[in-house]
Amino acid sequence: MTLLAAYIGAVDHFNRRVGRFAMYLIFVLMGILLWSTISKYAGAPALWTLELAQFVMVGYYILGGPYSMQMGGHVRMDLLYADWSPHRKAAVDTLTVLFLIFYLGVLLYGGLSSTIYSLEFGERAHSVWRPYMWPIKMVTTFGILLMLLQAFAELFRDILFLRGVTITHPQEPGL
């Protein structure tokens, strides 16, 4: 029991940190796109802006995913769900979250094999800038791993809740 609680605490804390870092990447994204406009009119259009922006966007939503899950940001179809008691919600979630975990597991497997491929063959993007692909694949795979850890944290949270121990999500100021 205490082990589960410690796991939840650690994962929540770490993912919140990562998510709050990712959250501010939106300003980086704005900066890159603004630079793209400026450089076009300064006579030397930057070739790397669009691709870099795409990499940042992937980092943004992949690394922000677990934090978003903590905040309850991933929409559910709550036609029936909304009217259930907290107990019933937790009970159903402990079963159905296994589907989520399975999907994330397959994603992670694909991510690992794809990253290893990129490292082995030095895969580059087909563009003028030709960036290496392994860094972004590594970030994506790492983000999926964090998402998987968060999904397990949600599962354990529900199990503990059903046994009478409530562990809430980290609370944000002003919420």
Partner 1 sequence: MSYELIALFMFASLMALLLTGQRVFGVIGAVAVLAALPLWGTGGVEIAFAQSIKLMKWYPLLTLPMFIFMGYMLSESRIADDLYKMFHVWFGPVPGGLAIGTIGLMVVISAMNGLSVAGMAIGSTIALPELLRRGYDKRMITGVIQGGSSLGILIPPSVVLVLYGMIARQPVSQLWLAGVFPGLLMAGLFILYIAVRCRIQPHLGPPLSAQEREAITWEERIRLLKAGILPFMIFFLMNGLFLMGVTSLVESSAVGALAALGAAVIKGRLTREVLENTVRKTLGISCMFMWIILAALCFGAVFDGLGAVKSIEGFFLDSLGLGPWEVLILMQLSFLIMGTFLDDTAMLVIVAPLYIPLVKALGFDLVWYGVLYTMTCQIAYLTPPFGYNLFLMRAMAPPDFRLKDIYLSVIPFVAIMLLTLMVVMIYPQLALWLPSQFQGKLQG
Where does this chain bind partner 1 (CB under 8 A)?
19, 22-24, 26, 29-30, 33-34, 36-37, 50, 53-55, 57-58, 60-62, 64-65, 67-69, 71, 73-82, 84, 89, 92-93, 95-97, 99-100, 102-104, 106-107, 109-111, 113-114, 136, 140, 144, 151, 172-174
Cβ proximity to partner 1: between 1 and 105 the closer is: 105
Residue 163, C-beta contacts closer than 8 angstroms, at least 6 positions apart = 1
Would you give the DSSP letter of residue 109? H
Residue type, 104: L
HEC sequence for 112-168: HHHHHHHHHHCCECCCCCCCECHHHHHHHHHHHHHHHHHHHHHHHHHHHHHCCCCCC
In the complex, what is the shortest distance from the CB of residue 157 to partner 1, in angstroms, rounded to a whole number?
14
**Nearest distance from residue 148's CB to partner 1, in Å?**
11
Between 109 and 132, name the residue whose CB sits nearer to partner 1.
109
| The length of the chain, given as a count of residues | 175
Cα separation, 17 vs 23, whole angstroms:
10
Cβ at position 100, least distance to partner 1 in Å: 3
Nearest approach in angstroms of CB 3 to partner 1 is: 25
